[in-house]
Amino acid sequence: MRGSQAPCPEQWAILRRLRSASCPVDLEHLPPVRHPIRVGCEASPCGFHLFPIAGGAALVLPLRIVAQGAFTLCRLHLWGDWVKKEISWLTRCDRHGQYCFHEYREEYSLLFSFEEVLNHRFRPTIELKAGSTLRGLAIGFLPDLAPFEKEEKLAAMICLEDVLGDQYPFNIVLDYGCEPRECKYTVRPTPLGEEVI
């Protein structure tokens, strides 16, 4: 291990074993560990990442995940001081075969195409090769989140978990608004009750 190079996982395991055996190991002056992934959050196509719906809030989060090394993603978490309960990631709607917030408002629903949503990709796992990029929407529901009175910017962490249970948190800022703007995901009912985009 060179002085300017961060330890690889095997070297970290050896250093931890030496330290647990009471050997003097200086972990404070080692170079920082490089995450096997990077995560970026982009502007929401709905105008806001979070907006109120019955019983809580909807999350529409465009993510860009870049694998710097081989990585197997198995879980996604959202953490924040304002998060009351664990987020529930939406599953595919039986009625449409896509991802939906049915009757979000009386006059329309929000319908997200299967290909654009990441939720199904980390169930049970997705393997990313080094250098690959994964883009898409993470769609979820936050139960019991009381509506805010005005638009807010909320600090949060999106955390990716691998198959070994190692977690990689990344700071993000979410835009909260009382009403999402109309976008390509807005679906309005026809007079016959069918939904059209």
Strands 108-112 and 186-189: antiparallel
Residues 76, 17 within the same domain = no
Residues 10, 42 within the same domain = no
Element (H, E) at 11: helix 9-20
Tell me the C-alpha distance between 194 and 190, whole Å: 5
CATH number at residue 102: 2.60.40.10
Residues 23, 84 within the same domain = no
The token pair that represents 69 in the structure block: 């090394």
Domain that holds residue 152: 35-196
Residues 5, 71 within the same domain = no
Tell me the C-alpha distance between 174 and 78, whole Å: 11
Residues 103, 81 within the same domain = yes
pLDDT digits (tens, 9 = 90+) for 38-89: 898 888 888 889 988 888 888 999 999 999 888 888 899 999 888 889 999 9
Residues 52, 128 within the same domain = yes
Q: Which residue has the tokens 């009386």?
A: 106
Residues 126, 65 within the same domain = yes
- If one counts the domains in the chain, the total is 2
Residues 39, 86 within the same domain = yes
Residues 75, 147 within the same domain = yes
Residues 5, 68 within the same domain = no
How far is CA 26 from each of CA 7, 16, 18, 19, 77, rounded to the nearest angstrom? 13, 11, 11, 9, 32
For the residues of 68-94, what is the DSSP string, one character each? SS-EEEEEEEEE-TT--S--EE----T
Q: What is the pLDDT of residue 123?
A: 72
pLDDT digits (tens, 9 = 90+) for 154-194: 999 999 998 888 888 899 999 998 877 777 777 765 444 44
Residues 13, 86 within the same domain = no
What is the pTM (predicted TM-score) of this model? Answer: 0.74
Element (H, E) at 13: helix 9-20
Residues 112, 45 within the same domain = yes
